[in-house]
Amino acid sequence: MNNIQQMLAKAQKLQAKVAETQKELEKKETTGTSGSGAVSILMTLKGEVKSISIDKEVVNPNEKDLLEDLIVAAFADAKQKADKMYEDGMKEATGVVGLPGLF
């Protein structure tokens, strides 16, 4: 019976640590870029876009498609970085490594 209580206590402690880590990670931001930095997107690890920066050199009405592609690529880069940072933070908090789909 004592083992079960200890396991429950550890689980509650881990749950609290995970919740705290999630709150901390949600405040962090990352930047994704494309076009050698011509377009950059700042986003939170939750995926909220905070700002977009576009170099005036790539703003050409005749190349609208290129600019749209650069924005999509910068967003994808930021999202990938955000996901990795979040996953790494949760792994560090829980000590769990290598469980696909856990976070």
CATH of 19-94, one of 3.40.50.620, 1.10.10.350, 3.30.1310.10, 1.20.810.10: 3.30.1310.10
Beta strands in 45-83 (DSSP E): 49-54
CA 75/CA 44 separation, integer angstroms: 11
* pLDDT tens figures, 2-54: 788 888 888 888 888 889 998 999 899 999 999 999 999 999 998 999 999 99
* pLDDT tens figures, 62-95: 999 999 999 999 999 999 999 999 999 988 888 8
Which pLDDT score, from 0 to 100, does residue 7 have? 86
Please give the model's pTM, rounded to 2 decimal places.
0.78
State the angle between helix axes of 64-94 and 2-27 in degrees (0 to 180), rounded to the nearest 10: 150
Which pLDDT score, from 0 to 100, does residue 98 have? 53
CA 98/CA 91 separation, integer angstroms: 9
| CB of 51 closer than 8 Å to CB of 41 | yes
